[in-house]
Structure 1
């Protein structure tokens, strides 16, 4: 697949200049309680009404303070609707998350196509409070609603040859106008090693804060991998494929020096353009003290064993 460049920008400067300058203005204005006022589109792309009542508290969680809902739904990376953090909330009303089907195939014995509403069954759902870490030094604490990824993957009976799982976002420039620009190779693709995908922490989210996922947060179905950087958590999934070879993923294609396949949160490996050693929770304000970034985003006890013997500075 051909790599993408932007006019008057070096490949190493992955974010286009208008994007990061607009983001800088947003940050300079402060990211405390007043952020919602800086995001005029926040809330415009709300999900279809209907709370996901009855979801049980899942086995993983945290007692840390939740990020305010208006910030979680108003400050997003979703380039299919624009490259500024406020763009998805303003523009994602064009997404129609129903009807929606997901195809699961590849190296499996029982390929499956299912309607997303088969997954949105409250009696089957869990609520899990997970931290989500962005590469730019911000993090959130979000009460997701969904189901363990492994529960779905087992249904298709992966073959012994399957080593990886590839996830693909909807490709529809009419519903996702950001795809009319070549800022990334479309559709957006991410991937996990099979043992990562089957880990109990890996999660398919269909909601947050007790409601169906808002469009800007990846409706109707998104991945949540809490020990990895947020760009691994692919949104608006339409295809899940089991493969023998490591899949080519969108940000790794565009900028392999900056975005590795594994994307595990590792404070000892800096992004080429910023440090990963410390972070700040969204909503705490620009001048609040940063906290140390924890290995694997604080989930080392659960997942470090997946990478025994690997050089996590090389395989980032």
Structure 2
């Protein structure tokens, strides 16, 4: 793996965090203060994370402004327009939260989010992420390789794939009242893709915990694939022998394949993938094969027809 120098984040691109969180203040008031003092404080979306180390997995490109990253999203659980997640995701309750690890594993477990945060040292990794709709962004994500979690549960020899299942709760996620997809949201990776060191179990961005609209409290980031492969607000990770059917495959099998690698030579059924627009920029740029991660991941697909296995 090549080692890149991380770009410097201009202070003008980082939104000031000058508001206190109501729940934390409530816990510090009245009779609740005694109990709160005896318990380790839970971390909430938007809070700064300490002890994060810089990673060698960084692309040397200008970061996308924080405002763009947090206000222009696809998260259909909160609506289908790009502004809907930022406007409606406040209904999501990210504490308490747990993830069930099940299926073809020797040690199935349920991890609460605070335990996951302490499972391995958190790293800041500057990754590109590209949407199938031909826009892209460069974000300093916070997390650690998914392999750190996988080795805790010891997959069996039957585990060929990993399925990710997001929360289903149409009160917290009002977009689920729409039939745009069959809920809950599901995605999947082949085992070698899931165990690749670039596949990031992600808890934050820009030095702080994930905002709700970006997939709080835990998501996957798979930087060489289109963004919809990076499941958000995950509650179940299931190891399977058979290839899982992901939500977008189910909704449009002619438009969304299982692999969904960024490939400028394979167009979407309704538009070209040859060019992309970086959020915050006007001009379009050429799309890179595997989103620029060819050296790191091309060997995973040796001998495969990437137009057939799109």
What band does the TM-score fall into relative to the shorter chain? 0.7 to 0.9
Q: How does 1:124-163 map to 2 (within 5 A)?
A: 124-163=121-160
- Unpaired stretches in structure 2, ≥5 consecutive residues: 1-11, 16-43
Task: Please give the per-residue CA displacement for 1:61-119, whole angstroms capped at 9, x wherever unaligned.
Answer: 11100000000000000000000000000000000000000000100000010101112
Q: How does 1:99-248 map to 2 (within 5 A)?
A: 99-121=96-118, 124-248=121-245
Tell whether the 8 Å contact from 1:139 to 1:281 is kept in structure 2 after alignment. yes
Give 1:122 deviation, angstroms: 9.5
Q: How does 1:72-83 map to 2 (within 5 A)?
A: 72-83=69-80
Give 1:292 deviation, angstroms: 1.1
Between the aligned partners of 2:280 and 2:141, the Cα distance in structure 1 is 18
Structure 2 residue 249 is the aligned partner of structure 1 residue 252 = yes
Between the aligned partners of 2:156 and 2:56, the Cα distance in structure 1 is 28
Q: How many residues align?
A: 269
Please, what TM-score do these two structures have when normalized by structure 2? 0.85
Please, what TM-score do these two structures have when normalized by structure 1? 0.83
Structure 2 residue 273 is the aligned partner of structure 1 residue 279 = no
1:64 aligns to what? 61
Structure 2 residue 298 is the aligned partner of structure 1 residue 298 = no
- Unpaired stretches in structure 1, ≥5 consecutive residues: 1-32, 37-46
Q: How does 1:76-91 map to 2 (within 5 A)?
A: 76-91=73-88
Task: Please give the per-residue CA displacement for 1:185-232, whole angstroms capped at 9, x wherever unaligned.
Answer: 000000000000000110011000000100000000000000000000
Between the aligned partners of 1:95 and 1:83, the Cα distance in structure 2 is 17
Between the aligned partners of 2:172 and 2:101, the Cα distance in structure 1 is 22
Between the aligned partners of 1:293 and 1:213, the Cα distance in structure 2 is 27
Give 1:147 deviation, angstroms: 1.0
1:54 to 39, 51, 55: 51
Structure number with higher relative contact order (C-alpha < 8 Å, ≥ 6 residues apart): 1
Give 1:123 deviation, angstroms: 7.0
The SS at the match of 2:117 is coil
1:97 to 94, 98, 115: 94
Between the aligned partners of 1:297 and 1:150, the Cα distance in structure 2 is 21
Between the aligned partners of 1:198 and 1:255, the Cα distance in structure 2 is 27
1:42 aligns to what? none
Between the aligned partners of 1:275 and 1:216, the Cα distance in structure 2 is 27
Tell whether the 8 Å contact from 1:53 to 1:122 is kept in structure 2 after alignment. no
Give 1:49 deviation, angstroms: 4.4
1:21 aligns to what? none
Tell whether the 8 Å contact from 2:119 to 2:148 is kept in structure 1 after alignment. no
Tell whether the 8 Å contact from 2:122 to 2:142 is kept in structure 1 after alignment. yes
2:264 aligns to what? 267
Give 1:265 deviation, angstroms: 0.4
Between the aligned partners of 2:56 and 2:196, the Cα distance in structure 1 is 13
